[in-house]
Amino acid sequence: MTAEELQEGYVFLLDKPLDWTSFQAVNKMKYKLKREFNLPKKFKIGHAGTLDPRATGLLIVCCGKFTKKIPEIQDAPKEYWTEIKIGVQTESYDTEKPEILHQDIAHVTEQQVKETLEKFVGEIEQKPPVYSAIKIDGQRAYNLARAGEEVEMKSRKTTIFYIKDINIEFPLVSFTVGCSKGTYIRSLAHDIGQELGVGAYLTQLRRTKIGDYTIENATPDFLENEYKFESL
């Protein structure tokens, strides 16, 4: 790989670690590439679809002329391996905030869980979490929420293409979900809990696919020395 090739365009498939923001991952990549290839200060690089800090998995980073491809990649369907915990909730719908509102789940059956999951396949209405990067009056929702302000999120339509590979070991339920752009799996976890009547939150999330790109081709150690890349 040369500096000229990077500026002509590459897409990097990264395996984002836990507790890294997508922005931090891109900045680390940018710094490393600029240092190793003596790239110009205005070298273009960006990611095609944010992953929450508490999520891991496929993060696509485009550089050079391929940054123009970012909107196209962002629009592609996504796939996630998902684990939720039922019978309890958190304010953030994931592990960022402590557990609250514990409820007994002794009456909940595996069949009920499977039937509930099936209800969410198709086009659904979904409210993004208040702890999200969506802007409200110019400010990120999570900043408002962390400041203790009341945040009202508007519902939006999204599509769940499939839910499969369901595994139930109460109170944990894991599954693979395919969805359209803009789907919040944290909100899906919360809504599943509400439908079951006992609450739920997201305990683990790993993005496994974006369009035709898969986690199997991603680099797990991009913060170290190696990169895997594909030409678009």
Give catalytic residue positions.
52
Distance CA 100, CA 91 (A): 8
Distance CA 126, CA 103 (A): 23
Copy the structure tokens of residue 31: 């710094």
The b/e string for 133-162 (b: 16+ C-beta within 10 A; e otherwise) is ebebeeeebbebbeeeeebebeeeebbbee
> 78-86 and 200-210: which strand pairing?
antiparallel
43: closest CA among 33, 52, 51, 53? 33
Distance CA 67, CA 65 (A): 5
Contact call for residues 131 and 141 (beta carbons, < 8 A): yes
Query: Which residues, in sequence order, are bridge partners of residue 80?
Result: 177, 207
